[in-house]
């Protein structure tokens, strides 16, 4: 039997989660394409020694690209439900804010040390800050009433 063509569109939080997940999948794939990734011959599995840069700006490694791919796939799976979409966006945003702080600490203490295993550079750090706030905002602000699990709270209902 054909599916109902008049089915309601997915809530905005789910659509946003799919878009962000697709972005991460795209970044993960692009990180493996010579030309889009400069210094492709210097692409290392992990660590600060990787000389490859996505778009000539963001330092990447095989591990870094693989993490983008896994994160994007997880986002697509989680975006199938409203709660999962919120978790992916808000939780992923918080994770990326933590990664921004980690990148700042690594850059401040020892950019070329073993702690910089992903690897991260200044461009990555500021991108992670923007992704963190953006994802967190999408996860928290796009949810509206859908999927709250109960009725909305009115101030008059409180004791």
The verdict on whether omega for the bond into residue 119 sits within 30 degrees of 0, i.e. cis, is yes
* pLDDT for the residue numbered 113: 58
**CA atoms within 13 Å, Cβ hemisphere of 11:** 20
d(CA 69, CA 123): 19
* pLDDT for the residue numbered 70: 96
Q: Where in the sequence is the domain holding 46, given as residue range(s)?
A: 12-143
- List Cβ neighbours of 79 (8 Å cut-off, separation of 6 or more): 14, 17, 18, 21, 85, 88
**155 located within any domain:** no
* Structural domain count of the chain: 1
d(CA 52, CA 43): 5
Burial class (CB in 10 A: 0-12, 13-18, 19+), 134: middle
**3 located within any domain:** no
| Owner of token pair 């700006």 | 57
* pLDDT for the residue numbered 1: 45
d(CA 89, CA 127): 16
Counting residues of the chain whose pLDDT is more than 90, the rounded percentage is 39
Mean pLDDT of the chain: 81
**74 located within any domain:** yes
Higher pLDDT, 75 or 3: 75
Structure confidence at residue 18 as a pLDDT band (50, 70, 90): very high
**123 located within any domain:** yes
Of the listed ranges 97-106, 134-143, 144-153, the least confidently predicted one is 144-153
The answer on pLDDT for 112 being more than 70 is no
Are 42 and 56 in contact, with CB atoms under 8 Å apart?
no
**86 located within any domain:** yes
Structure confidence at residue 19 as a pLDDT band (50, 70, 90): very high
Averaged pLDDT for residues 14-34? 93
**71 located within any domain:** yes
**4 located within any domain:** no
- For 35-91, the pLDDT digits (tens) are 888 877 777 776 666 777 888 878 788 888 999 999 999 999 999 999 999 999 999
Q: Give the C-alpha distances (Å, rounded to integers) separating 114 from 9, 59, 97, 117.
A: 47, 15, 21, 6
Q: CA 118, 64, 53: angle at the middle one, nearest 5? A: 95
Averaged pLDDT for residues 107-122? 66
Averaged pLDDT for residues 20-31? 94
**156 located within any domain:** no
């Amino acid at each position: 039997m054909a599916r109902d063509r008049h089915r309601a569109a997915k809530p905005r939080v789910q659509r946003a989660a799919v878009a962000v997940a697709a972005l991460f999948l795209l970044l993960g794939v692009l990180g493996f394409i010579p030309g889009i990734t400069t210094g492709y011959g210097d692409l290392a599995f992990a660590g600060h020694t990787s000389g490859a840069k996505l778009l000539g700006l963001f330092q990447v490694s095989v591990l870094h690209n693989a993490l983008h791919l896994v994160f994007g796939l997880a986002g697509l799976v989680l975006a199938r439900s409203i709660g999962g979409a919120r978790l992916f966006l808000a939780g992923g945003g918080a994770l990326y804010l933590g990664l921004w702080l980690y990148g700042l600490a690594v850059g401040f203490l020892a950019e070329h040390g073993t702690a910089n295993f992903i690897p991260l550079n200044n461009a990555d750090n500021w991108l992670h800050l923007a992704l963190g706030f953006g994802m967190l905002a999408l996860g928290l602000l796009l949810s509206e009433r859908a999927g709250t699990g109960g009725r909305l709270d009115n101030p008059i209902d409180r004791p």
